[in-house]
Amino acid sequence: PGRAGGRGRNGFPQSAPAGGPAEVTAPWALLAELTHACPLHCGYCSNPLELTRRSRELDTAAWQSVLRQAAALGVVQTHLSGGEPLLRRDLEQIVATAEHEGIYTQLVTSGTGLTEPRLAALADAGLRSVQLSVQHAAPQASDRIAGRRGSFAEKTRAARLVRAAGLPLGVNVVLHRGNLDAVGDLVRLAVDWGADRIELANAQYYGWALHNRRALLPTRAQLERARAEVAALRTELAGRTDLIWVLPDYFTGEAKPCMGGWGAVSLTVTPDGTALPCPAAATLPGLTPPNVRDHDLNWIWQHSPAFTRYRGTAWMPDPCRSCDLREQDFGGCRCQAYALTGDASRTDPACHRSPDHHLVAEAATAPPAPSPPPDPRGHAAPAAPRRPP
Ligand code: FES
């Protein structure tokens, strides 16, 4: 959606005045985490250590209300995610409500459980596109990383169904030490599946992934090889397939503009109705995120302490406060700052100007040590300490 200046839907300004206080702009994207239940057990899962139980999930009417409120707020796109959103039996009703409200829907799925009749029902309800995850180009390795035997075959079948239904297909790969060397094969697999867009997302170290960081963090040499291979593939596929690749911030020395800024362009609603400025923000102490069961989305977005806490630039400490990049990287990621320093308001240690940058630099440059394979994702939090070794 266009984000040029002026007033958008609902009277929100479409851009903040340069150098001024944080002005509230309309969100355009909603990440709807419909359930934390998932048939896969990926060791890089970025969902919280403590997952929401199914009995605490929002019901159909509550999700429909969230979508109506989101549309009124300005949201034009939603990612229906999880966990595995196909486990929600009311997914068609949720999609239909989004479609009715003019919200573009993308299903973010592992492909497990996707059948031809289910996909047809979802398409009839208004589903616009599907993003399918895959863990490796080799079936056995993919199944091992996903923690589910046969899941690669399920994904292959799901990709075929999506293309046969005429829906756009995106393929998403979370990259880490265990699959980075196969990045070329992964791209070729996604092209074979008929993907319009391939997202090569280097693992983000939150939630379960942070717990497994030692086993997941790639070496710099691996990254360099992958970067060169992706650059060549991007040239080869130009004009045919979008190939998205972003170097992980652990290795760039630069903070990523996480979420496009706190409370700036998108919001997340978790399975139990907790509304968050980013998917990992529930881990931040003292944030007391609001819940859609208690407050309307307009108040949550505009006025709730959780959404205003790090909005704009006024909250920033040095070196962000005086940095020319503060309107571009927004101080980096609050969740990463907290996970690594214990203080969410510090400059993201990924930035080379951060006084805590050594925390990232040392992890990224440590010689590859033999490490145990990642713990498969489970429902309960691991007994091990949360901070990475
Ligand atoms: Fe929460 Fe980056 S993941 S601010």
In order of 16, 22, 23, 322, 327, the CA distances from 19 in angstroms are 8, 9, 11, 12, 9
CB 71 within 8 A of CB 78: no
Determine the distance separating the centroid of ligand 1 and the alpha carbon of 334, expressed in angstroms: 5
- Residue 335 Cα to ligand 1 midpoint, Å, equals 4
DSSP-based three-state secondary structure for 172: strand
Pocket test for ligand 1, best of 249, 316, 336, 345 (most atoms within 8 A of CB): 336
Q: What is the pTM of this model?
A: 0.87
- State the complex-level ipTM: 0.92
What is the residue-level pLDDT of the chain in tens, covering all 389 positions? Answer: 333 334 444 555 544 444 445 678 899 999 999 999 888 888 777 777 777 788 899 999 999 999 999 999 999 999 999 889 999 999 999 999 999 999 999 999 999 999 999 999 999 999 999 999 999 999 999 999 988 899 999 999 999 999 999 999 999 999 999 999 999 999 999 999 999 999 998 888 877 777 788 888 888 888 899 999 999 999 999 999 999 997 888 888 999 999 999 999 999 999 999 999 999 898 898 999 999 999 999 999 999 999 999 999 999 988 999 999 998 999 899 999 998 999 999 999 999 999 999 998 887 777 665 565 677 766 555 554 444 44
CB atoms within 10 A of CB 278: 21
- Residue that the structure tokens 């929002």 belong to: 58
Contacts of 19 (CB under 8 A, 6+ apart): none
Tokens of 117: 């009749």
Amino acid symbol at 247:
L
Output the CA 312–ligand 1 centroid distance in Å. Answer: 15
**Dist CA 292 CA 307 (whole Å):** 13
For residue 358, report the phi and psi dihedrals to the nearest 5 degrees: -60, -25
CB 305 within 8 A of CB 71: no
